């Protein structure tokens, strides 16, 4: 059975996921990759890095003036070469 994660850490990951318009699993993966790159393993460093990534994402949104709904609209826009792509059943 998977261990129960710290509530504060999961809240930070959820805020990061909401800010970036990605899934919670993707946000946790981003934090875990950043932790691994820095060679850290403890929970407090995970929280610190999650806070840093969240602050960077928020500052990026504020500096670019992009809201989360605008970002989601941009992510859902089809590219020109993909407009006529259809999947058959």
**What residues make up the domain containing 18?**
7-65
Total domain count for the chain?
A: 1
- The Cα–Cα gap between 25 and 68 comes to 18
For residue 84, being part of any structural domain is answered with: no
For residue 75, being part of any structural domain is answered with: no
Q: Are 68 and 21 in contact (CB under 8 A)?
A: yes
- What pLDDT digit, counting tens, does each position of 37-65 carry? 999 888 889 999 999 999 998 888 877 77
Residue 84: the pLDDT is 65
pTM of the model: 0.69
Q: Are 31 and 15 in contact (CB under 8 A)?
A: no
CB atoms within 10 A of CB 10: 15
- What pLDDT digit, counting tens, does each position of 1-45 carry? 456 578 899 999 999 998 888 899 999 999 999 999 999 888 889
- The Cα–Cα gap between 13 and 46 comes to 10
Would you call 7 helix, strand, or coil by DSSP?
helix
């Amino acid at each position: 059975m998977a261990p129960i994660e710290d509530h504060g850490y999961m809240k930070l990951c959820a805020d990061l996921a909401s800010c970036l318009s990605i899934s919670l699993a993707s946000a946790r993966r981003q934090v875990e990759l950043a932790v691994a790159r820095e060679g850290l393993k403890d929970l407090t460093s995970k929280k610190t890095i999650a806070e840093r990534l969240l602050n960077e994402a928020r500052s990026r949104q504020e500096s670019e003036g992009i809201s989360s709904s605008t970002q989601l609209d941009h992510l859902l826009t089809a590219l020109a070469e993909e407009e006529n792509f259809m999947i058959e059943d």
